[in-house]
Structure 1
Amino acid sequence: MELNSPLARVLRDGPFEAALSAAVDRSGLTLDRIREHLASRGVRISRATLVYWRQGRSRPEREASLEAVAALEQVLELPRASLLVLLGPRRPRGRWAGHTPGTLPHATVWPPATRIMQRLAAPAEGDLLVRSVHDVLTLGPERCERVLRVRKVVESAVDRAFRLISYYQIDDPDRDAPRLGRVWYGRAGRTEVARQYGLMAAEVLLDQPLGRGDRTMVEYELCFPPGRPLLFYQRWFTRPTAEYVLVVDFGAQPPARCHRITQRSPGAPERAESEVWVGGGGVVQSIATDVPSGAVGLRWQWD
C-alpha cells in the first residue's frame, strides 16, 4: 500500500467507518463475499452489521465484534490493528469504566486475546504487574528465531496471584507456533494458540502464591520451528514498565545495520530511533528504562 494513497491516509487519520468503507471498495468484494471469508475464519456477522459499521450508524465495541474487525483486516489485506486503532477506547461501561490512562488493553494489542484469556481463565488485567523484562533472542543459521529466553520480575496487585499469561505474536502465517520449553522459578501450565490470528498464549505457574505488593522472578524459554529470515523483533507492553533489556544473538551472521524501534500503539507508525552497535560476536543489546505502554524492539538489515 502506498503511503500517500487515499486508503493509507484514511487508515492513518480515520474515522473508522471511512477507513472500513475505503478498504471494502478497494478489495472489490461484496459484503456477502466478505461474510463468507469471515465465516471460513470462524467469525459470524450479519450483513446489516457490516452496513451499519460502514455508515457509522454503529461501532464495534463488544469483544466478539473486535475479533470480527481483526478478521476483517485479514480479509481486506490491511495491516494488523489498522482498523482497531481507529476505534479508540470503548465507552466507559462494565470493566472499562476503570480503564487506567496510559495503558493498552490486551484486546487492542492482541485482538483474539480475550477469547484465549477466557479459555485459560486468565487473571484480570493489572492483577500481576510486570516491573522488568529481559529478552535474549537467539537466531539460527537460517536467520530465524531459534530460542527466546524471557526473564520477568512481576509484582502482585492482588492477594494470592499464582500465575501469569505470556503472549507471542507469530508474524509468518504459514509457521507453526513456538512451544513453551524450560521454565525456571515456576512451572509450565497450559498453552493456547489462535492460529488464524497468529497468536500464542502460554501459562506460567509461579512457585508460590503472591500477596499484594509481593514480587518474584520467573524465567522461561520459547522454542521455534524453522521459518523465514527475521527482520525485526519487538515486545509489546500493555502498561508502563521500569526496565526492558533486549539481547539479540545473531551468531556468525550479524546484520549490516541495526536500529532501535518504538511504536505507540498497533496501527501507529513505527519510529526508527538510534542505531545500535553490532558487537564482534554478533550480539546486539538494547536497554530501555521507564518504558511507556507500546512496543520497543530492534529492526535490522541483513545486507
Structure 2
Amino acid sequence: MSGKSPTRARSAVTLEQALRHGPFDRALRAALERRELSLESLQRRLRADGYSISLAALSYWQRGLRRPERPESLRIVMAVEGILELPRASLVALLGPPRPRGRRAADGGPPEFTDLLGPSTGLTRVLDGVDAAVNLGFQHIGMQGDLWLGEDRSWYLERVRRVVTARQDHADRFVALHIPDVPGQTAPVLRPISGCRLGRVQADPESGFQAAELVFDHVLASGHPHVFEYEYIPSGPASGIDRYQHASRQPVRQIALRTHFDPRALPARCRHVAQRPGTSAPRHVTDLPVSASGTANIVVLDSAPGLEGFRWEWD
C-alpha cells in the first residue's frame, strides 16, 4: 500500500495553509520542511543555478528578520520556488509592497555587521559559511570579556562568558565573531570552556576575521537561559594592539569588559570608546583608570547595538 507518511501529509497541509495565508517566512519554512532541504543545501542549489546569496540572508528570510525586496532578491525567490517545486509566484505573492527603507525603516530590524564594522570582503567571506542570524534568536542578558597582555605589549589570552535566553524553541548554537585588532592579524584559536562545543569555523587569513559556531550541550526551549564560556589564544604575532572591543547587533542587558595589562608595561592612557551603527568612528566616552595591578574595567548597562570597548596609548 502506498501513500504519504503522516509527517509528510501534515507538512503538505501546513504548506498549503502557509501559501494561502502567509506570512512569507512561514511559507518558506514549510516548503523547506516538505522537501527536507536545509538552508545550506538550498544555497548550494541556488549557486549551481547561477544565483549568489549568503547563508545569512536566506536565514533572515526564513526567520522573518528580513524580507526580499530588491529585483535581484525577487529573482532568487522565484528560483527558490522552482527548487522547492512550488507554484510559480506563490512565494513572491506573499511579500506585498516594499517597506520603507533606510536607518529608520518600519521593520526595525537589527543592523548588519557591516553597519558596525564597515565593509570588508574578509567579513563577508567568514559570515557566508555560517548562519550568524541564529544570534538574533536570543535575548542577550550578559557578556563578560577579559583580555590579558604581557610585558611585551602582546595579548596572550581572551576569555568570554555569555548569558543568553532563547526567544524560540530548538535554539542550540551561537556564532562567535572575532574582530582583528590590527591589520594583518591572523585569526586566533578558539577553545570552548563550558556549556558549548566547537562547530563550523570560517576564518579569513588576509583580514583576520573569524566566525565560529558554538554548539550548546543541550537544546534550549523558548524562555530558557544558557551560560557558556570560551576563549581565544593567538595563532601568530599578537603585539602592537591598542584596542579591545566587542560588537553586538542587539541590545545587551550588561556588558562587563576588563583588560589586564602587565604591571611592568602599563599604557600611558586608556579610554572607554563606543560606536553606534552608521557612524564612521568610535566616540570617546571617558578616560579609564588603570590599577597598580594593571586592570581597567568597563561596565555598560542596557547597551544599544554597536561597539563597546577600550582604546589605549602606550607612549
Q: Does residue 141 of the first structure (1) align with residue 151 of the second (2)?
A: yes
Deviations 1:65-121 (A, max 9, x none): xxxxxxxxxxxxxxxxxxxxxxxxx9669xxx88435x3223433555555344234
Distance 1:92 1:116 in 2: 29
Structure 1 residue 105 and structure 2 residue 112: aligned?
Answer: yes
Q: Equivalent residue for 1:234?
A: 245
Of residues 159, 164, 170, the one that matches 1:160 is: 170
Residues 216-227 of structure 1: pairs in structure 2 closer than 5 A: 216-224=226-234, 225-227=236-238
Q: Tell me the amino acid that sits aligned with residue 297 of structure 1.
A: G
Deviations 1:41-80 (A, max 9, x none): xxx9xxxxxxxxxxxxxxx9979xxxxxxxxxxxxxxxxx
- Relative to structure 1, the CA distance from residue 276 to residue 154 in structure 2 (aligned partners, 3 Å threshold; closer, same or farther) is same
Deviation larger for 122-131 or 183-192: 122-131
Equivalent positions of 1:55-66 (< 5 A) are: none
- Equivalents in 2 of 1:222, 1:91: separation in Å? 41
Partner amino acid for 1:272?
Answer: H
CA contact (8 A) 1:128 1:164 kept: no
Q: Which amino acid aligns with 1:270?
A: P
Q: Which amino acid aligns with 1:162?
A: D
% identical equivalent positions: 28
RMSD: 2.9
CA distance in structure 2 between the aligned counterparts of 1:258 and 1:145, rounded to whole angstroms: 16
Q: Distance in 2 between matches of 1:61 and 1:291?
A: 36
Other-structure match for 2:195: 185
Structure 1 residues 232 and 91: alpha-carbon distance in aligned structure 2, compared to 1, 3 A threshold = farther
| Residue type at the aligned position of 1:100 | G
User: What residue number does 1:245 align with?
Assistant: 256
Q: What SS does structure 2 have at the residue aligned with 1:173?
A: coil
Return the letter of the residue paired with 2:269: R
Task: Give the distance between the partners of 1:124 and 1:227, measured in 2 at CA.
Answer: 30
Give the 5 Å matches for 1:1-303.
Answer: 99-101=107-109, 103-109=110-116, 111=119, 113=123, 115-124=125-134, 126-224=136-234, 225-252=236-263, 253-265=265-277, 267-303=279-315
Match of 2:15 in 1: none
AA aligned to 2:153 is: R
Q: How far apart are 1:257 and its partner, in Å?
A: 1.7
- Residues 123/275 of structure 1: CA separation in 2 closer, same or farther (3 Å cut): closer
**TM-score in terms of structure 1 length:** 0.64
**Contact 2:125–2:204, Cα closer than 8 Å, also in 1:** no
Q: Secondary structure at the match of 2:256?
A: strand
SS at match of 1:286: strand
The separation in 2 between residues aligned to 1:235 and 1:61, in whole angstroms, is 35
Alignment: residue pair count: 216
Contact 2:171 / 2:221 at 8 angstroms: preserved in 1? yes
TM-score normalised by the chain length of structure 2:
0.61
Q: Which amino acid aligns with 2:240?
A: P
Determine if contact 2:139/2:164 at 8 Å carries over to the other structure: yes
CA contact (8 A) 1:106 1:114 kept: no
SS in 2 for 1:126: helix
- Secondary structure at the aligned position of 2:237 is classed as coil
Distance, in Å, in 1 between the alignment partners of 2:149 and 2:248 is 23
Paired residue for 1:17? none
Is the alpha carbon distance of 1:259 and 1:215 closer, same or farther for their aligned partners in structure 2, counting shifts above 3 Å? same
Gaps of 5+ in 1: 1-43, 45-59, 64-89
| Paired residues of 1:139 and 1:249 also in contact (CA < 8 A) | yes
Q: Counterpart of 2:185 in 1: which secondary structure?
A: coil
Which entry has the higher C-alpha Rg, 1 or 2?
Answer: 2
